[in-house]
Amino acid sequence: MKEISAPGSFPALSPFRRLVMVIFVFSSMLCGLYGCRTLVPGIMDGSALERIDSGDYPEFGDDMSYDGLEHSIRMSLSYLEKLPRDRMFQFGEDAYDCRHMIRSLEYFLRFLKTRPTRKELNIFIASRYLVYQSIANDDENGVLFTGYYEPLLKGSFGETPEFPVPVFSLPEDIAFIDLSLFDLSLPADKKLVGRITDDHRVVPYYQRREITRSNLNGKSVPLAWVGDRVDLFFLEIQGSGKIYMDEETYINVHYHATNGHPYKSIGSLLIREKKIPKEEMSMQKIREYLRNHPEEIDDILNYNPSYVFFKTEEDGPFGCLGVKVTPGRSIALQRKIFPAAALGFMESRKPVVDGDMNIQEWVDFQRFVMNQDTGGAIKGAGRADLFWGNGAYAEIAAGYMQHPGRLFFIVLKPDDSERQ
């Protein structure tokens, strides 16, 4: 993004009023140069789904204990119960209000407590629920499922030779710009991230390279210090984790905001430069390459200009709905195009490992999941990210999972009077 300079200067105005005037000029220029309609996302709420006939329903089953699913459903209910009851949720061409979403999950939760057999489960869903399929499943490759996990890092509350890498909180000089506040024709979900310069210009916030080089010049207070830049980079990718100061003392760190620059995959870079074969790409392979080529770490990490700032929480990890995500049950999807907090069903493949955590094979699995998170790299109807939890298996599964599958959402059949 180019720097946009406001015409003239505003010596008599406060910093806030200068920001307002600069943003107004900036938003006007965006509409003039590109047309406001081009800023509107092409896919609206829920349009990534289409309802399927009962004869096309998948064979429902689940490879996990229902305990985790019950917990995950309760997390979605806690989110929905805070919303206005007339809030609408889009499933393809159909829409259901929050009241119906709550009823749908509560009804399914009560049924789970009977510990149904596979046959009983399928009869129940066929008679009581509608099923919607991701439109990406029309593609021969289906939905690409990847995984994420909760990293566990070692660190310190202060900088030490062992822990020299800061985990930054939100900087004091960052500004979040909602253009719709200044021009109603601009979408409310189009926000910019920037800062105000000494000569009264609004410019994009610093890129990763500038942040790591300057350590933000005291503009951010580190929440903790960790020992490795690569570990911190993957903490950013995962979005949350735990930093242990000793065996008993730790803090939960969670995504707060980014510097506003687009996410660029270093995995794609390493494939393109033929440093890692595409068929071997994984988080573990990236770590191995960086460990063996320390002189390239800066250039490779800085290829991604996006940078994540963190905050601490008493618990976690939390997804984008503000509820705790459940290992093996919570999935991350692109916001807006799938109904938030809804009950889903996925089919894909998972790894089987030996005692040394070496993958022996990949096997088919299916399970119910809840839409409770999102991610910067999760774009479109053909991408989904499954949360595996923490620990050795979770890291292996999340690092290597790149498998096609199918994704469905189910919702209680409404009375005709309830259908919107």
Contacts of 206 (CB under 8 A, 6+ apart): 195, 214, 216, 259, 307
Q: Which of the four pLDDT bands, split at 50, 70 and 90, describes residue 346?
A: very high
Does pLDDT of 384 surpass 60? yes
Long-range contacts of 51-55 (CB under 8 A, 24+ apart): 51/91, 51/92, 51/93, 51/94, 51/130, 51/131, 51/132, 52/131, 52/132, 52/133, 52/408, 54/126, 54/131
> Which of the pair, 10 or 175, is modelled with greater confidence?
175
Element (H, E) at 108: helix 98-112
Q: 122 and 189 share a domain?
A: no
* Whole-number pLDDT of residue 417: 37
Global pTM reads 0.80
Whole domain around residue 339: which residue ranges? 49-149+321-412
CA distance 339 to 89: 6
Could you count the other beta carbons within 10 Å of the beta carbon of residue 119? 8
Q: 81 and 55 share a domain?
A: yes
Quick check: is 419 in a domain? no
For the CA atoms of 228, 255, 201, 208, the dihedral, rounded to the nearest 10 degrees, stands at 20
Does pLDDT of 44 surpass 80? no
Q: Which of the four pLDDT bands, split at 50, 70 and 90, describes residue 317?
A: very high
How many domains in the chain?
Answer: 2
Q: 1 and 56 share a domain?
A: no
Does pLDDT of 30 surpass 50? no
Task: Give the SS3 label for residue 303.
Answer: coil
Q: With beta carbons less than 8 A apart as the criterion, state whether 240 and 254 touch.
A: yes
Beta bridge partners of 242: 152, 252
The separation between CA 240 and the C-alpha centre of its own chain, rounded to angstroms, equals 10
* Whole-number pLDDT of residue 140: 63
pLDDT tens digits along 240-294 = 999 999 988 999 999 999 999 999 999 999 999 999 999 999 999 999 999 999 9
Quick check: is 172 in a domain? no
Is the backbone peptide bond immediately before 339 cis, with ω within 30 degrees of 0?
no
* Whole-number pLDDT of residue 45: 53
Burial of 171 per CB tally in 10 Å (0-12, 13-18, 19+): buried
Q: 181 and 329 share a domain?
A: no
Residue 158: DSSP 8-state: S
Quick check: is 396 in a domain? yes
Q: 33 and 56 share a domain?
A: no
Quick check: is 26 in a domain? yes
Share of the chain above pLDDT 90, in %: 76
Poorest-confidence range of 183-187, 206-210, 230-234? 183-187
Q: 22 and 4 share a domain?
A: yes
Average pLDDT score over residue span 68-81: 98
- The beta strands (E) that lie in 189-329 are given as 191-196, 202-204, 222-226, 240-244, 250-258, 308-313
Contacts of 410 (CB under 8 A, 6+ apart): 108, 125, 129, 130, 131, 132, 343, 344, 345
Q: What is the CATH number of the domain that holds 82?
A: 2.40.40.10
Poorest-confidence range of 10-14, 222-226, 230-234? 10-14
Domain boundary among 164, 185, 217: 217
Quick check: is 127 in a domain? yes
Domain boundary among 217, 246, 275: 217
Quick check: is 354 in a domain? yes
Quick check: is 184 in a domain? yes
pLDDT tens digits along 101-150 = 999 999 999 999 999 999 999 999 999 999 999 988 766 668 999 999 99
Q: Which of the four pLDDT bands, split at 50, 70 and 90, describes residue 42?
A: very low
Q: 5 and 64 share a domain?
A: no
Q: 79 and 128 share a domain?
A: yes
Q: 25 and 74 share a domain?
A: no
Quick check: is 161 in a domain? no
Q: 29 and 53 share a domain?
A: no
Q: 33 and 66 share a domain?
A: no
CA distance 420 to 416: 9
Strands of the 308-313 sheet, one edge to the other: 165-168, 222-226, 152-156, 240-244, 250-258, 308-313
Mean pLDDT of the chain: 87
Q: 338 and 189 share a domain?
A: no
